[in-house]
Structure 1
Amino acid sequence: MTKAEATATGLDLPPDAKVGIIAGGGSLPVEVARGLALHGYRPFILLMEGEADRQQDLRGYEHDSLELEQIGSLVTTLKRHGVTHLVLAGEIKRRPRLTHIRPSLGLLAIVPSVIMALARGDDGLLKVLTRGLEKRGIKVVGAHEVVPELAAVEGTLTSVAPKRSDWRDIEAARQAAKAIGALDIGQAAIAIGGRAIALEGIEGTASLLERTRDLRGHGRLAGKTRGVLVKCAKPGQELRADLPSIGPQTVEAAHAAGLAGIAVEAGRSLILEGPATLDRANALGIFIVGLPITEPADGR
């Protein structure tokens, strides 16, 4: 696909853009890089040391490395490589060690904002980071904006569809996920029998599903069948970073937890390794549904 064709399909990039990817863990940085290359944009990859775990797939592109404690030189590094647009992609499991951060004039200018953002939680920090970058001339864009095929679409995406009872679980889990999202705790919840039985904490979706599997194994959910995992963006979330995502591992874990399916917000959630994820869901008899958005977001 040429850049002109990419623009015609709604890709949110000018033809002369150079897109950088801050690469954390997981497959998202790889999928964003591949998608950009297919759309005619050769990406620049900034590998976060100790976090990016798909380096073999990413080092084929123009790249550099950065420690979390070198965050003060982020803008300088990006501008040295001519980056005009930036995607934050992949999991960053730890926070920088404040005592090890190397000071710079650019960093000192935003320290008060960062301290206040840390008090507000992960989403507050992401908002400060994105707005700070844009004030310095680098436009932050979401993975779903530059590689739109990663975003979930509305409707049933698998050959298996939810039953009527599953829709009760979907609604209950969605309400619970929105409630914890408003507190900046997590993005996911599980409902069984029409009520929420487990909520995502800071440890993430994989641990949520593992807890649910253990509850079944220990008899706490004896006689309870089916159930649904719902993932959705936090109310007011900065949508250019940390969108909810699912992949083949999510499907496997949902099946191991005895769930009937997974629901995500269409347009605000990512399906990683899309063909493999849907194929695995079909093979296991798990449904995947893209839900319509029910409220506006102020994060783009």
Structure 2
Amino acid sequence: MEPRFPGEPLGLIAGGGRLPRIVAEAARAHGFEPVVVRIADGKDDDWSDFKGEYFAWGRAGDAVRFMKASGVKRVLACGTVSRRPDFRSILPSLRTLLMLPTAFRIVRGGDDRLLRNVAAFLKAQGLEPVAVQDVEPQLLAPEGPIAGRAADERERAALALGVRVAQTLGSLDVGQAVVASQERVIALEAAEGTREMLHRVADLRARGRVGRNERLALVKVVKPQQDERFDLPSIGVSTILEADGAGISAIGVSAGKSLIIDFDALVVAARDANIAVVGLPRDEASDPSRADVVSGSEP
């Protein structure tokens, strides 16, 4: 995606973590001028080198007005949002107050429904939603081996099981991630997110609920019905470290539909942790007979 004119303002709704900064810098390098609206976990991040402002949930209406007044026509959202907006427990600004009936409709249901509602709301406000990968396609996970060593036979079986379960989980709009061994499912991601799920797996292993020699795989895949402009599965160095702490030895993500954050650093972290990281073809990896596809090796 290129700017329609040099210095075109690009709205960036930024949560926490490294991803919003990576996207903002890539957008600027491509000729956009990012306008950063910090929300939720992005509150205390330093964005002094970009135009923007922090907006509490109660000022959501002001955030829209700010972007439009800044000339924004296209907008993307990324970063960590650990808590959903609760418009019933905040004191909204006048502009947000006028939006409350719409806001209540937006936050109902699972994450996928919420994100689709957000996209529809932005479009109704004259803002075109775009995707992270539209700005920086190099963030997309490649197919096959990504980092670390090659997955062994047990890990390939665990990845295949994890993919099948994760796709079912995603079709119900529950979560994107699963931890599995070759024979059973260990943990499912729901509202708590991947990080807390991995902490739970670490606790299970510490309490002897996971076998000492049981090889575990983390799978993160895009939901079948997901709006791919928002919330693609992502992994970074923190994912590697948390997976290592949980005793996970392989990680699989949807090739071409997941984001790799800080690729070079992730490669080093995966090597140091001796974890196999692979990009999974979404359709073929769901077939357990195609273990060669899951491993990234040739048939």
Alignment TM-score, normalising by the size of structure 2: 0.87
- Counterpart of 1:158, as a letter, is A
Query: Which residue among 131, 140, 146 is the counterpart of 2:120?
Result: 131
Query: Which residue among 31, 51, 67 is the counterpart of 2:22?
Result: 31
Structure 1 runs not aligned, ≥5 long:
1-10, 296-300
CA drift of 1:224 comes to 3.6
1:131-210 paired onto structure 2 within 5 Å = 131-210=120-199
Change (3 A) 1:205 1:12: farther
Query: Which residue among 95, 111, 118 is the counterpart of 2:101?
Result: 111
| In 1, Cα distance between equivalents of 2:185 and 2:81 | 28
| In 2, Cα distance between equivalents of 1:188 and 1:148 | 22
| In 2, Cα distance between equivalents of 1:116 and 1:127 | 11
Structure 2 runs not aligned, ≥5 long:
285-299
CA drift of 1:202 comes to 0.9
Change (3 A) 1:200 1:24: same
CA drift of 1:107 comes to 4.6
2:78 is matched with which residue?
89
Where 2:174 maps in the other structure, the secondary structure is coil
Where 2:38 maps in the other structure, the secondary structure is strand
| Poorly superposed stretches of 4+, deviation over 6 Å | none
Change (3 A) 1:197 1:12: farther
RMSD of equivalent CA atoms: 2.1
Where 1:29 maps in the other structure, the secondary structure is helix
CA drift of 1:216 comes to 1.3
Alignment TM-score, normalising by the size of structure 1: 0.86
| In 1, Cα distance between equivalents of 2:11 and 2:105 | 27
| In 2, Cα distance between equivalents of 1:188 and 1:237 | 14
| In 2, Cα distance between equivalents of 1:137 and 1:119 | 23
Whether 1:217 aligns to 2:206 is: yes
Aligned residues: 281
- Residues 71-94 of structure 1, C-alpha deviation per residue, up to 9 Å, x if partnerless? 123321111111121110112222
1:51 is matched with which residue?
41
CA drift of 1:251 comes to 0.2
CA drift of 1:117 comes to 4.2
